[in-house]
Amino acid sequence: MGPFTLRRRYAVAALLVVGCVLWFTSGILISRKTSRGPIFDGRADICSLIDVLEFDAAVHEVKRVFSANVAAARAVDIISEANGRVEEVLLSNGSAVDKDQVILRIDARGKLERLEQARVLLEQRRLERGVSESLGAEGYRSQVHDHAALVALREAEVNYKNAKLALDSATVKAPFVGVVDEILPQVGSMVSVGQTVARVLNFDNLKVVTYVPERDVAYIKPGDSVKVKLGRTGVVSSGKVSFVSKVVSPETKSYKLEIIIEPQGIFEITEGMFAQVEFVIGREKAYRIPSSSLSVSAKGNLGVKVLDDRGIVRVLDVSIVDDDEGYIWVSDIHEDSVKLIVRGHEYALDGAQIVECNT
């Protein structure tokens, strides 16, 4: 192969490379010259791509809603103070009960006998004490014997009192007005001292129990007013915080709260009923805006894009303080009103100017 042939091949290859470069470059130039993309710098009119609305700031109550359960404000497990067989059960589960009304009786025949013996002995000791005082006054009885008679009388009085208490303990009574939630023993059952025999509830006031996460508990204190929605019917009552736990649950990282409310009396309250508790944890200046209008600043912070008085796009950092049915409340905007880009904010660059857009 001669030198001329090689030179011709090199020339053809060079021409092909140059042609490819020119073709590629021309495509880029043509593309840049004819492109009408929505991203822009400087002055531009892209009103067909964006919507701008004016929003006013307002003082917003920041609320938190938590699930809760209803309990009676007063609930007592009645403990047996006597040993014996249950002789009679006078009420049933769910019965209304008055204070000191008898719920059940334990066999008390042995206790009656001991009480009668203690009564007879007490009368005897009183007579002996009276005789001793008379003889002592006339000088026929020593002071030592008189003192011994007094000690015997006091001992008899204590024995009689204990026997009466033992008899009374065989009768189980309600400690307050309320509802008998449950009676555990049946007629013929054996019970012993310290055994739970009944549970009585009082629903004049309700205790609503909920659990609040760590981020919110600092804003709640005893005495705060709260709104409570009871049951599936949605009956709303007002209440006050009565207790805030100082110990966090290691499993849920939440704190136990108790709220006392007065029931409305228009429907039946049950132990364990579902409820919702609404707390107001703060009030601050904020804007209610569509959640879709949120953007991200160049620094990666959550923000919104607004237009200033000259139509210049500005990115403002914001903090979300609450949500409201598809809208959100945001703070950290110092102006009392803003022109917010609610649609197409991704097309508006920070610092760009938008003209002839109706707000």
Q: Could you report how far apart the first and last alpha carbons of the chain are, in Å?
A: 78
What's the pLDDT score for residue 44? 46
What's the pLDDT score for residue 32? 36
- Confidence band of 33 (pLDDT split at 50, 70, 90): very low
In whole angstroms, give the CA distance from residue 218 to residue 211: 13
Indicate where the chain has its CATH 2.40.30.170 domain(s).
65-72+201-282
SS3 state of residue 22: helix
**pLDDT per residue as tens digits for the range 143-169:** 666 667 777 778 877 887 877 777 777
pLDDT of 98 strictly over 50: yes
pLDDT of 21 strictly over 50: no
What's the pLDDT score for residue 260? 92
- Confidence band of 29 (pLDDT split at 50, 70, 90): very low
Greater pLDDT, 346 or 185: 185
What's the pLDDT score for residue 237? 83
The owner of tokens 């059952």 is: 189
What's the pLDDT score for residue 355? 66
Which tokens go with 283? Answer: 């009030």
Backbone angles phi, psi at 217, to 5 degrees: -65, -25
In whole angstroms, give the CA distance from residue 340 to residue 267: 48
Written out in words, the top-level CATH class of the domain with range 43-57+297-354 is mainly beta
- Confidence band of 350 (pLDDT split at 50, 70, 90): confident
Burial label, 136 (beta-carbon count in 10 A; 0-12, 13-18, 19+): middle
Beta-carbon-side half-sphere exposure of residue 98 (alpha carbons within 13 Å): 1
Segment 165-179 mean pLDDT: 84
Greater pLDDT, 241 or 298: 241
What's the pLDDT score for residue 138? 60
What's the pLDDT score for residue 146? 61
Asked whether the beta carbons of 345 and 327 are under 8 A apart, the reply is: no
- Confidence band of 292 (pLDDT split at 50, 70, 90): confident
Q: What's the chain's average pLDDT? A: 79
Greater pLDDT, 93 or 146: 93
In whole angstroms, give the CA distance from residue 336 to residue 56: 6
What's the pLDDT score for residue 199? 93
Asked whether the beta carbons of 146 and 97 are under 8 A apart, the reply is: no
pLDDT of 40 strictly over 50: no
Asked: is 65-72+201-282 a CATH 2.40.30.170 domain? The reply is yes
Segment 178-207 mean pLDDT: 90
- Confidence band of 242 (pLDDT split at 50, 70, 90): very high
In whole angstroms, give the CA distance from residue 127 to residue 105: 35
Residue 219 CB contacts under 8 Å (≥ 6 apart), including other chains: 279, 281, 282
What's the pLDDT score for residue 15? 55
**pLDDT per residue as tens digits for the range 41-74:** 444 456 678 888 899 999 988 888 899 998 888 8
pLDDT of 25 strictly over 50: no
What's the pLDDT score for residue 155? 82
Indicate where the chain has its CATH 2.40.420 domain(s).
43-57+297-354
Signed CA dihedral, 60, 65, 70, 76: sign only: negative
What's the pLDDT score for residue 240? 92
DSSP-derived letter for residue 1 is: -
What percentage of residues in the chain have a pLDDT greater than 70? 79
What's the pLDDT score for residue 37? 34
pLDDT of 97 strictly over 80: yes
